[in-house]
């Protein structure tokens, strides 16, 4: 889990009690303060008992389920239900109750409040019955249960695959609400964003870049690049290269504030923001200055894929000296990104639009992108921020500068 992680939240059980699993097959989805990831089965076997349900917060090292290894000849719960044993066939069939009830298991003891042996709530006995007998008689299993005067069991325990989110209340007017607890990842994101707003003097400056040269280069070399490296040449590798070049020129944006000191780094660990269904994560490209275009594209693609599958490792999300976020993939035209503490800058990319611009005294249509730099004004002055963003613009509009390092 990583040394700094002490607890996680069970987001979802992917397997139910009695189900057979294969080696490394995901059995649960876990949320930590840094990431969401899947818990794999240690080997082939069967989940015999689930001890903690979805929505529970558990400590690292705590047992959340019991697992029986092996069982290659065993059948899954579904198969056993479909093919009953000879004893089951010979046994008389019980009459179905009026409403579907959850059968008792060692996983879920009947609620004490209900008093019934099958987990059903019973009607309180009359006063005369209380005087004659110290304990109420349980309802017969073959008799339909009588509705209680007031609900006794407030919430049924969900099965292994159910969500921890409460059901939407039914309101006659149709104006319902749904209360969904924040995941640990979402709580961490919220806390860090508020800390960034309160603890930094953030300011954003803007520019725009003509993407014609990058698009032309991608069009010309895409086939050869993909054939050789088995990955497509995207836009992100150009911006990572441009950012490393600009950070070399303006190290204040690759720094960190520690108490009353400014720490300058001579390495470039670039975080790339990836949006998932469970929240935003920022995996880090270590020593990005040493990676080629192909290595950058492969790493970014791998991060994006594994982030959506919940397979990123905690150490891949730690650290980072500068962050790039691309809202353009969702159609964002302009935004003011928030810095990822304790970094001092973040570069925001946006959607590419054909717009009219003045070029050499002529009005032409070019693919343009707005780019934004949010910086910590405690460390970075406006001059450095504006020149940094202009350096990014120059590198993107003339990619040869990146290769020649001029």
Cis ω before 179 (30° cut-off from 0): no
- Catalytic residue at 381? yes
| 46-75 per-residue burial string, b: 16 or more CB within 10 A, e: under 16 | bbeebeebbbeeeeeeeebbeeeeeeeeee
Q: CA–CA separation, 279 vs 281, rounded Å? A: 7
Cα four-point dihedral sign 62, 65, 68, 69: negative
With b meaning 16 or more CB within 10 Å and e meaning fewer, what string describes 295-331? ebbbbbeebbebbbebbbebebbeebbbbbbbbbeee
Cα 47 from Cα 107, distance rounded (Å)? 12
DSSP states of 123-148 as a string? Answer: PPPPHHHHHH-SSPPPPPTTSPPPPP
What sign has the CA pseudo-torsion 124, 127, 129, 130?
positive
- Is 377 a known active-site residue? yes
How far is CA 148 from each of CA 116, 123, 151, rounded to the nearest angstrom? Answer: 12, 5, 6
C-alpha 239/C-alpha 346 separation (Å) is: 12
How far is CA 20 from each of CA 16, 25, 160, 163, 308, rounded to the nearest angstrom? 9, 10, 14, 21, 25
Candidate list 24, 56, 219, 377, residue with the active-site label: 377
First to last CA, the chain: 43
Phi first, then psi: what are they for 351, rounded to 5°? -65, 150
Output the CA torsion sign for 174, 179, 183, 186: positive
Asked whether 35 and 281 are in contact (CB, 8 A), the reply is yes
Which two structure tokens, joined as six digits, stand for 1? 């889990």
The set of catalytic residues is 377, 381
């Amino acid at each position: 889990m990583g040394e700094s992680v002490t607890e996680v939240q069970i987001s979802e059980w992917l397997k139910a009690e009695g189900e057979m699993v294969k080696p490394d097959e995901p059995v649960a989805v876990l949320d930590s303060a840094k990431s969401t990831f899947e818990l794999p089965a240690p080997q082939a076997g069967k989940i015999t008992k689930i001890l903690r349900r979805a929505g529970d917060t558990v400590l690292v090292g705590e047992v959340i389920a019991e697992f029986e290894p092996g069982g290659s000849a065993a059948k899954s719960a579904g198969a056993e239900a479909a093919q009953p044993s000879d004893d089951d066939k010979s046994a008389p069939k019980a009459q179905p109750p009026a409403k579907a009830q959850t059968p008792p298991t060692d996983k879920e003891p009947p609620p004490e409040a209900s008093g019934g042996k099958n987990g059903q709530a019973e009607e309180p006995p009359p006063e005369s019955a209380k005087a004659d007998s110290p304990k109420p008689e349980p309802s017969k299993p073959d008799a339909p249960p009588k509705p209680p005067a007031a609900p006794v069991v407030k919430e049924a325990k969900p099965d292994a695959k159910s969500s921890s989110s409460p059901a939407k209340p039914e309101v006659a007017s149709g104006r319902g609400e749904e209360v969904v607890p924040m995941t640990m990842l979402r709580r961490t994101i919220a806390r860090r964003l508020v800390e960034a707003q309160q603890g930094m003097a953030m300011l954003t400056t803007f520019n725009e870049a003509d993407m014609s040269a990058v698009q032309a280069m991608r069009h010309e070399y895409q086939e050869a690049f993909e054939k050789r490296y088995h990955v497509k040449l995207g836009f992100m590798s150009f911006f990572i290269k441009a950012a490393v070049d600009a950070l070399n020129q303006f190290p204040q944006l690759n720094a960190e504030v520690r108490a009353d000191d400014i720490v300058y780094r001579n390495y470039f660990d670039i975080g790339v923001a990836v949006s998932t269904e469970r929240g935003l994560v920022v995996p880090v490209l270590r020593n990005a200055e040493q990676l080629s275009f192909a290595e950058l594209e492969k790493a970014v693609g791998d991060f994006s894929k594994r982030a959506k599958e919940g397979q990123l490792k905690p150490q891949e999300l730690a650290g980072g000296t500068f962050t790039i976020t691309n809202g353009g993939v969702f159609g964002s035209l302009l935004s003011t990104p928030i810095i990822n503490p304790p970094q001092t800058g973040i570069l925001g990319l946006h959607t590419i639009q054909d717009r009219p611009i003045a070029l050499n005294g002529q009005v032409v249509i070019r693919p343009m992108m707005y780019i934004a730099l949010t910086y910590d004004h405690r460390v970075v002055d406006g001059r450095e921020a504006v020149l940094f963003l202009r350096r990014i613009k120059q590198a993107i509009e003339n990619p040869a500068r990146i290769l020649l390092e001029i």
